[in-house]
């Protein structure tokens, strides 16, 4: 074990203190630490190597993964220094965010440990099954939709809303493209969907009243917003108490050509950033999960996020 001066030197780095605050509470992999801290795994590994060489943390191998935790035999004098350093910064915004992200990562880990979900994740969609398709499953799920009012924000032609309108009380489609609104309105009339209405408007200034819908949907629309926080605030504003936001969008990526090819303003969002934005706006029961990854390059990944407007 290195001397007290060396320990104090290690504790002078904020990233190492953040890591120590986490691994003294829970054994975590490099990937999980990277997700919690929103840092590259190479940077995390470099800091862990220093902490391990100073005999402050230990690693445990499980397959290809290594899990890190605080060594149980750290001398009491050194442990007091660590606890004092971590306690001194416990109320800092970064530490508070780390603790929130830690809980979310642990919830995700627990979910993966459920045998039932592991079984589904391992088999669903990998093998051909006659009559099974995501389109068919989607129609089945829509049968469960209650008689609610829905706002589809950045709806485009509103293909999702065309399906929803067959089951819910009313659907409002909002899009800033006059042509999309025109085509969507024609489709609604053609299909006899009198409860489906299109409005020309921006997702950052939604032309709907406060607390007027039960469900807000942002499906692959947020990365087109100039100010994503404004769009999320608008989705929150129009929700009735107890109403829910459902959001599908790209996970953060580095495919710069997306700006030119698809008119994207943002190159996706990290799970941590999206989770924090929704919490800051006031959503409760926030969940953000990666639900798909494309096989072809650039391997876009999709996030599914949900949150509820508090009652009252």
Mean pLDDT split into 10-residue runs, the chain, 312 residues: 78 94 92 93 92 91 84 90 92 93 85 46 45 54 74 88 89 92 91 93 96 95 93 98 95 91 91 95 95 91 95 84
Give the pLDDT confidence score for residue 125 in this predicted structure.
46
Give the pLDDT confidence score for residue 136 in this predicted structure.
61
H or E stretch covering 103: helix 93-113
Give the pLDDT confidence score for residue 121 in this predicted structure.
38
Give the pLDDT confidence score for residue 147 in this predicted structure.
82
What backbone phi and psi angles, to 5 degrees, belong to 93? -55, -40
Give the pLDDT confidence score for residue 243 in this predicted structure.
96
Give the pLDDT confidence score for residue 129 in this predicted structure.
43
pTM confidence score: 0.66
Give the pLDDT confidence score for residue 106 in this predicted structure.
87
Is the Cβ–Cβ distance between 31 and 44 less than 8 Å?
no
- In the structure encoding, which two tokens stand for residue 6, read together? 């060396």
pLDDT digits (tens, 9 = 90+) for 143-187: 666 789 999 999 988 888 888 888 899 999 999 998 889 988 998
What is the C-alpha to C-alpha distance for residues 66 and 29, in angstroms, rounded to an integer? 6
Give the pLDDT confidence score for residue 142 in this predicted structure.
58
> Rounded to the nearest 10 degrees, how much is the dihedral formed by the CA atoms of 140, 145, 149, 151?
-40
Cβ within 8 Å of residue 161, ≥6 positions away? 150, 152, 155, 171, 173, 184, 196
- In the structure encoding, which two tokens stand for residue 304, read together? 């599914």
Give the pLDDT confidence score for residue 5 in this predicted structure.
86
Is the Cβ–Cβ distance between 7 and 78 less than 8 Å?
yes
Residue with tokens 């969907």: 193
In order of start, what are the domains of the chain with their CATH numbers? 4-92 (1.10.10.10), 122-308 (3.40.50.150)
Alpha carbon separation from 93 to 70, 129, 172, 275 (Å, rounded):
23, 49, 38, 15
- In the structure encoding, which two tokens stand for residue 162, read together? 């065309």
């Amino acid at each position: 074990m290195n001397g007290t001066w060396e320990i104090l030197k290690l504790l002078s780095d904020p990233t190492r203190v953040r890591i120590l605050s986490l691994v003294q509470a829970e054994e975590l992999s490099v990937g999980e630490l990277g997700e919690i801290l929103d840092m590259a795994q190479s940077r995390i590994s470099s800091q862990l190597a220093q902490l391990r060489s100073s005999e402050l943390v230990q690693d445990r191998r499980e397959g290809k993964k290594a899990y890190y935790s605080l060594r149980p035999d750290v001398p009491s004098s050194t442990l007091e220094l660590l606890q004092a350093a971590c306690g001194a910064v416990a109320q800092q915004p970064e530490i508070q965010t780390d603790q929130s992200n830690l809980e979310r990562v642990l919830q995700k880990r627990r979910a993966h440990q459920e045998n039932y979900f592991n079984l589904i994740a391992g088999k669903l969609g990998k093998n051909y099954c006659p009559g099974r398709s995501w389109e068919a499953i989607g129609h089945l799920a829509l049968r469960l939709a209650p008689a609610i009012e829905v706002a589809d924000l950045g709806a485009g032609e509103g293909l999702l809303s065309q399906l929803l309108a067959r089951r819910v009380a009313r659907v409002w489609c909002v899009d800033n493209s006059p042509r999309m609104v025109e085509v969507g309105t024609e489709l609604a009339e053609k299909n006899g969907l009198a409860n489906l209405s299109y409005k020309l408007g921006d997702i950052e200034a939604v032309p709907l009243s406060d607390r007027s819908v039960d469900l807000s949907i942002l499906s692959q629309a947020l990365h087109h917003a100039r100010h994503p926080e404004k769009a999320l605030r608008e989705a929150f504003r129009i929700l009735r108490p107890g109403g829910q936001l459902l959001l599908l969008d790209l996970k953060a990526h580095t495919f710069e050509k997306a700006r030119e090819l698809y008119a994207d303003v943002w190159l996706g969002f990290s799970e941590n950033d999206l989770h924090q934005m929704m919490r800051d706006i006031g959503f409760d029961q926030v969940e953000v999960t990666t639900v798909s990854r494309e096989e072809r390059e650039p391997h876009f990944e999709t996030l599914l996020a949900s949150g509820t407007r508090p009652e009252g």
